Structure 1
Amino acid sequence: MPRFMGFVRMEEGIGMPPQALFDAMDSYIGEQAAKGHFLDGGGLFGTEDAVNFVVRKGETTRVDGPYAEAKEVVGGWALMQYDTLEEAIANQQEFADLHAKYWPEVSMVATLRQISEEPPAAAEG
């Protein structure tokens, strides 16, 4: 059964979502988990304590948050599985629609990406 990662990107520091969204999400995630679709997920803390390791030209540099230049940050994630890509897409739209309904003031992007079940092939050269 194909697995997928869902990400929520939104502007940082916009405040807490309304309780109605939390309630709707609890119900939605409970239903998805009962069907075996929602495997794991959660919200993320802000970037004030984030740590990035940037690799450029063979050098690794540590960059600590917060990141003033960041317009959007990943605020949450989910690991899911569905029988088909179409089913995954439909459910990701349902997830996004909950935000539109219960938190219409927010601008966010709900991204869905399928997880590769095989290791990537090495580059030839």
Structure 2
Amino acid sequence: MEEGQGTAPQALYDAMDSYIGEQAAKGVFLDGGGLFGTEDTVNFISSGGEVSRVDGPYAEAKEVVGGWALMRYDTLEEAVAGQQEFAELHAKHWPEATVVATLRQVAEGPEETGA
């Protein structure tokens, strides 16, 4: 989502509570949560064998991760449909915000990531 959009409206929180409850009852929602902005963020960057620390806020940050959810679907089609439903909740209940809902698969071992 874009940084600095303010707090989501209560209607979105209510809709998300209902959606998450339904998904948890079906065994789809495993875990998730919202994240604060970058004002207190601390990044540790590993590069060239050295680690450096960079403290927020980050003026150059235009998009940040605002939250996360760990979901388990049986098929890719179900995952895509679930992600679209999640994005549509945001469009309906917080239309003035720009939210990017990204779907990624969780790797369960190095053989899946190519590591």
**Same structural fold, with TM-score higher than 0.5 when normalized by the shorter chain:** yes
Report the structure, 1 or 2, having the larger strand content: 1
**Per-residue CA distance 1:50-77 (angstroms, 9 max, x = gap):** 1111122222110011111100100000
RMSD: 1.1
1:1-125 matches, within 5 Å, as 10-119=1-110, 120-122=113-115
Distance 1:17 1:45 in 2: 12
Identity across matched positions, percent? 78
Structure 1 stretches of 4+ with a deviation exceeding 3 A read none
Matched residue type, 1:67: Y
Structure 1 residue matching 2:103: 3-state secondary structure: strand
Where structure 1 has 5 or more consecutive residues not aligned to the other structure, the ranges are 1-9
Deviation at 1:14? 1.1
Structure 1 residue matching 2:31: 3-state secondary structure: strand
Deviation at 1:121? 4.4
With normalisation by structure 1, the TM-score equals 0.86
With normalisation by structure 2, the TM-score equals 0.93
Distance 1:62 1:16 in 2: 28
**Per-residue CA distance 1:44-102 (angstroms, 9 max, x = gap):** 01111111111222221100111111001000001110111110110000000001111
Distance 1:16 1:117 in 2: 34
Where structure 2 has 5 or more consecutive residues not aligned to the other structure, the ranges are none
Bigger RCO of structures 1 and 2 (CA < 8 A, at least 6 apart): 1
